[in-house]
Structure 1
Amino acid sequence: MRYISTRGEAPALGFEEVLLTGLATDGGLYVPESLPHFSLEEIRSWRGLPYAELAYNVMYPFVEDAIPADAFRKMLDETYSVFTHKAVAPLVQIDSNEWVMELFRGPTLAFKDFALQLLGRLLDYVLEKRNQHVVIMGATSGDTGSAAIEGCRRCKHVDIFILHPYQRVSEVQRRQMTTVQGDNIHNIAVKGNFDDCQRMVKESFGDQSFLGGKTQLAAVNSINWARIMAQIVYYFQASLSLGGPDRSMAFSVPTGNFGDIFAGYLAKKMGLPISQLVIATNRNDILHRFMSGNKYEQHQLEHTLSPSMDIMVSSNFERLLFDLHGRDGAAVKTLLENASKGPVSIEDYRWKHARKVFDSDAVDDKSTCDTIRDIFEQNEYLLDPHTAIGVQAARNCRRDLAVPMITLGTAHPAKFPDAIAESGLSLKPQLPAHMADLFEREERYTVLDNNLGEVHDFIAKHWKNA
């Protein structure tokens, strides 16, 4: 399988190169030249499989040119053995034909573990084979950073530099990143917002001269195709658990960077019957404004009770735009250049095509807290603020009550005690046993100004072979 850039000018690459490259040389994102497609009969035959085996069936077509089948199976077995629930992505019913898929049973209590535990093992395999060293540079709005560090900290050929917005992630999220010890782990708190951190990462991939030609950057953000690939699997898992593929499913996805919901869109294109995908956002609602009114326009980023979604520049949205424009990279490049200058729209027929499967909603902090409280009072089930946004958006946008509605439960509520307190519930969610001493662990991080030169200087001085 070959991978092509969404902007049409970079060379096509194999999986191994895409894994290490991250951002294409033309500034675009890599996507498969073609997708595997599974028949209903084939999908039906996967019912009852352990999660790792299902993951192999869904993902192996994407990597088969680069990784032997037995090696990939071993990676998947190791990846999902560290999750704390045997089902890996269990479903919890919260109302009639309404479900939450718990994606927070991994080591760092967030859905990012599904991809980043695997990404670390993929990098280990490829870098060992090549005898190559890389510098991982990533930006996080809260969860990607800790999942990346946990997934990659044991990699022998990697130095990790994670940028997070200073004082704009929850304390639990920060401590999960900054208390992991290791000479190859570096946390940078940038005096800015997540979009500033993400911009620095993208610009750094475009010009890596600050590394002096001695190494190269590798991506852990969802610009890396391997992240998207791994997230496709749990859509199949949820469907098969509730009668799929013989009935269609609807999914509501709390999203800021569009990666998780784009994985659902790909699952549908690969043959999984999905009738509706709900884009659930907070006040930073650029995706909702586009999907509801065909207007893509950046507003001022706001700080909310759901900080992992405090994002205004949704990187993976470019991958959907590439599809909506008939995979015309030049058209996507022009559109995004115009979007950097002001509001843009796409042709009405392209937008209506997207609306056939996508709906959207923006949920403010008050409604988020109301949903957390209501669901707990009804079920004694506690939602984190991001999942609460997904549940409320699902209820506001649901097309057909006969179709199971599955909200992706993206994080453990213990990561966001402030939101739980704001909801009026007199309880404090407890961290799992393996994190019980989190607040006693020593923190290590460096605060830097919102200045790319300072960040580059820090990385150039601190990677192990500098």
Structure 2
Amino acid sequence: MDYVSTRGKVKEIGFMDAVLMGLADDGGLIIPKHIPQVTTETLGKWQQLSYSELALEVFSLFIQDEIPRNDLKELVDNSYSTFRDPAVTPLHKLNDELYVLELFHGPTFAFKDVALQFLGNLYGYISRKTDSIIHILGATSGDTGASAIEGVRGKEGIRICILHPHQKVSKVQELQMTTVDDANVLNLAVEGTFDDCQRIIKELFADVDFKHRYHLRAINSINIARILAQTVYYFYAYLQLSKENKTDKLNFSVPTGNFGDIFAGYLARKMGLPIHKLILATNENNILERFVREGVYEPGAFRGTYSPSMDIQVASNFERYLFYLYGEDGQAVSTIMQQFKDTGRVVIPADKLQLVQADFVGYSVENEESLDTIRTYYDKYNYLLDPHTACGVAAADKITADNEVTVALSTAHPAKFDESIQLRSIEQVFPQQIQALFNKPQFQTVVGGTNNEIQDQLEKFF
């Protein structure tokens, strides 16, 4: 399987080189040159597979023979053996029309573990096989940081630096990152927003000399391995519901800020998974919902919400979707992204907007609406949603039509956002692993939001 850049100016590379490159050297994002197709017959054969067995089959389509199958199986098995539920991503039925896909059973209680346990092990494998130096640089709006650190902490030959917006993540998210005292981990608390952190990361990776000098590797969803890993649970949910004959009109409602999780669903559908509607659920930072509704991609005023991991105005995976929206035309994508850089705005023509609205249905969830949804579902089903999942459930309630079934992706354990949940007078018992964090010392460095300040920290660390 060959991989190319969304901007068309990087020669074709293999899977492992694509993982190591992270952000393409021309500033674009890496995507597979061809999307493998999955037939109805294949889906039937996959129906009885465990999650790890299914992941092996999906990964094999994109990796082919570059990693021997036995090695890939070991990577997959090791990655998902760390999950607390044997199903890895179990489905929880709330009613006949709504299921919750619980993606939070990994080590850090967040959906990011599904991809980052695998990517951490994959980086270790590539480092050993190629004798490569792995210096990971990432930004987080909350969950990616802890999941990435957990995936590589203590691993020989790997160092990781994570940027997070200072005092703009939940307390549990902060503790999960900053209580780690391993020598190969550096936490930088950036004075600014997640968009500032993400911009710094993309600009440092775009500095090809700096990137190569310090052997920088990406752990954010700009890394294609993250997206491929996330496609698996769409297939898994579909296959579980196919056993109940509930897949005739099956929707997925996806809380999203960076467009990675829902792009994985879009990729699964392009592979042949018969998804009826992809419901794009945002919070009040609704640049993506406005794009689906109006065809205008333009950051608005930043809003701090009860779902902070979605407090994002510039979605890094949006460019991957543009590539397919514009018929895999790298030059067109380059022109659009340059226009966005110059003007801060992208407007697509009416014919393209029709295609967008065929691909996605958008819904923006107001701050209080997310908390009301948590309260309603707790009272009605004795089931506690975190505020991000509540956005997905609220969107599902609005969009799901008669004779449709929706799977809402549950992206985090509610214990990670207790500050928000307490606002609806709900008390919860923390898992022991989370409760223990409050008694640990923290290790982080607060820095300004400039490239130079981050570069100085990286040069000392790497």
Query: Structure 1-normalised TM-score?
Result: 0.96
CA contact (8 A) 2:179 2:440 kept: yes
Equivalent position of 1:86 in the other structure? 86
Percent identical residues: 47
What secondary structure sits across from 2:276 in the alignment? strand
Equivalent position of 2:215 in the other structure? 216
Once the two structures are superposed, the pairs formed by residues 359-438 of structure 1 within 5 Å of their partners are: 359-398=361-400, 400-422=401-423, 424-427=424-427, 429-438=428-437
Matched to 1:316, the amino acid is N
Whole-angstrom distance in 1 between the partners of 2:207 and 2:184: 22
Deviates more, 1:338-347 or 1:84-93: 338-347
CA contact (8 A) 2:249 2:403 kept: no
Whole-angstrom distance in 1 between the partners of 2:413 and 2:344: 37
What secondary structure sits across from 1:16 in the alignment? helix
Once the two structures are superposed, the pairs formed by residues 283-294 of structure 1 within 5 Å of their partners are: 283-294=284-295
CA contact (8 A) 1:172 1:415 kept: yes
CA contact (8 A) 2:189 2:445 kept: yes
CA contact (8 A) 1:166 1:447 kept: yes
What secondary structure sits across from 2:242 in the alignment? coil
Matched to 1:308, the amino acid is S
Aligned pair count?
A: 459
What secondary structure sits across from 1:192 in the alignment? coil
Equivalent position of 1:188 in the other structure? 188
Whole-angstrom distance in 1 between the partners of 2:461 and 2:231: 35
CA contact (8 A) 1:210 1:456 kept: no
Whole-angstrom distance in 2 between the partners of 1:324 and 1:391: 27
Equivalent position of 1:232 in the other structure? 231
User: Deviation at 1:278?
Assistant: 0.5
Whole-angstrom distance in 2 between the partners of 1:391 and 1:310: 18
Whole-angstrom distance in 1 between the partners of 2:109 and 2:430: 9
Change (3 A) 1:214 1:206: closer
Deviation string 1:191-250 (CA, Å, 9 cap, x unpaired) is 000000001101111115457x65310000000000000000000110111117963420
Query: Structure 2-normalised TM-score?
Result: 0.97
Equivalent position of 2:17 in the other structure? 17
Report whether the alignment pairs 1:175 with 2:152: no
Report whether the alignment pairs 1:339 with 2:312: no
Matched to 1:262, the amino acid is F
Change (3 A) 1:208 1:185: farther
Report whether the alignment pairs 1:259 with 2:260: yes
Report whether the alignment pairs 1:142 with 2:112: no
User: Unaligned stretches of 5+ in structure 2?
Assistant: none
CA contact (8 A) 1:127 1:133 kept: yes
Change (3 A) 1:126 1:426: closer
Equivalent position of 1:270 in the other structure? 271
CA contact (8 A) 1:252 1:405 kept: yes
User: Deviation at 1:431?
Assistant: 2.7
Q: CA RMSD in A?
A: 1.3
What secondary structure sits across from 2:277 in the alignment? strand
What secondary structure sits across from 1:186 in the alignment? strand
Equivalent position of 2:323 in the other structure? 322
CA contact (8 A) 1:254 1:279 kept: yes
Matched to 1:411, the amino acid is A
CA contact (8 A) 1:47 1:240 kept: yes
Equivalent position of 1:448 in the other structure? 447
What secondary structure sits across from 1:454 in the alignment? helix
CA contact (8 A) 1:208 1:217 kept: no
Whole-angstrom distance in 2 between the partners of 1:94 and 1:446: 43
User: Unaligned stretches of 5+ in structure 1?
Assistant: none
Q: Structure 1 or 2: larger helix share?
A: 2
Matched to 1:59, the amino acid is F
Equivalent position of 2:46 in the other structure? 46
Once the two structures are superposed, the pairs formed by residues 48-67 of structure 1 within 5 Å of their partners are: 48-67=48-67
Deviation string 1:370-393 (CA, Å, 9 cap, x unpaired) is 000000000010000000000001
Deviates more, 1:336-345 or 1:43-52: 336-345
